[in-house]
Amino acid sequence: MSDVVLSVKDLKKHYEVRGVFSKIGSVKALDGVSFDLKAGETLAVVGESGCGKSTLAKALMNIERRTSGEYKLLGRDADKMDGTEFRKTIQMIFQDPYSSINPRKKAWQIVAEPLFVNTNFSRSECRKKATEAMEKVGLRPELADRFPHMFSGGQRQRIGVARALVLNPKILICDEPVSALDVSVQAQVLNLLMDLQDQLGLSYIFISHDLSVVKHISDRTLVMYLGKIAELGGREEIFEKTKHPYTKALLASTPNVQSGKLQRTRPLEGELPSPLNPPSGCAFHLRCPLGNERCKKEVPELRLLDNRFVSCHHPD
């Protein structure tokens, strides 16, 4: 038995974009992404707005239909799992705890929703399991009959976490799980997620634009640029022995994670190019201090170098 709980190979998600009369083109939101997620690990996914992070989350959750690629969960083809089996394996926590929960339902009913849909438990059994899940995330049983508007933002996100856990999944996808919360409660929710991971042996795909959070909680980090992997490696490789110029520029744009070595790196300049019409060769070459003729022409392969994967013609 391998300890890989999720793996994708050459995953693609292309959105067809239509004009009034005809097809304009396709947005390659994910364009050939391959990685493994191991049991009990936190894999962070970072990159600028629009690079494809949420698309990855939606493709992995079957919220969006994948264009192509292989997707395995617990060693099995995800396409061959039935809906219930799938939802008992992988669940998601959303960014916005205000819009992702139904305001007309009581807390326990929101948490119990996956049980109503995927199990044959009676209503009272569902209530009991939902209340237990609420306790796991630090919500007392007497809160079970309250409505969402009676909870704070942090508590509402805890309801979202309890709902994601109620079917005892192995994997959680967290898409910016704390960025809609007050800074003062972000740490509480992050600590809760880390405690739950230890207690329950969960694996996380943790999407975030906050590299200081990612440095703190991730085992490995996947850096995305325009739907492709720029660099993928452990904390030391990504944050200290950085190789990809894009990763360096991202880090240089985040004041509180800069290491001494990065201080002379220029922060990111310019905007992310449109994925509808990406640059030739290496998609980063126009913004890269090392970009040259080769970068303009040749797409760099993702290759293993000094213990991390990197796609660059002249890394460090």
Ligand X SMILES: Nc1ncnc2c1ncn2[C@@H]1O[C@H](COP(=O)(O)OP(=O)(O)OP(=O)(O)O)[C@@H](O)[C@H]1O
Q: Which residues bind ligand X (CB under 6 A)?
A: 15, 17, 27, 29, 47, 49-55, 209, 275
Residue 15 interaction partner, one of Mg ion, ligand X, none, beta carbon < 5-8 Å per kind: ligand X
User: Does 54 contact Mg ion by CB under 5 A?
Assistant: yes
* CA atoms within a 13 Å half-sphere pointing along the CA-CB vector of 161: 29
User: Does 155 contact Mg ion by CB under 5 A?
Assistant: no
C-alpha to C-alpha distance for 57 and 296, rounded to whole angstroms: 30
3-state helix, strand, coil in the chain (%, to 5): 35, 25, 40
Q: How large is the C-alpha radius of gyration of the chain?
A: 21
> For the residues of 188-256, what is the DSSP string, one character each?
HHHHHHHHHHHHHT-EEEEE-S-HHHHHHH-SEEEEEETTEEEEEEEHIIIIIS---HHHHHHHHTSGG
**Which CB sits closer to ligand X, 45 or 143?**
45
**Which CB sits closer to ligand X, 182 or 271?**
271
**Which CB sits closer to ligand X, 51 or 107?**
51
Residue 50 interaction partner, one of ligand X, Mg ion, none, beta carbon < 5-8 Å per kind: ligand X
Residue 27 interaction partner, one of Mg ion, ligand X, none, beta carbon < 5-8 Å per kind: ligand X
**Which CB sits closer to ligand X, 131 or 247?**
247
C-alpha to C-alpha distance for 139 and 166, rounded to whole angstroms: 14
Residue 52 interaction partner, one of ligand X, Mg ion, none, beta carbon < 5-8 Å per kind: ligand X
Beta carbon of residue 6, minimum distance to ligand X (angstroms, whole number): 18
User: Does 55 contact Mg ion by CB under 5 A?
Assistant: no
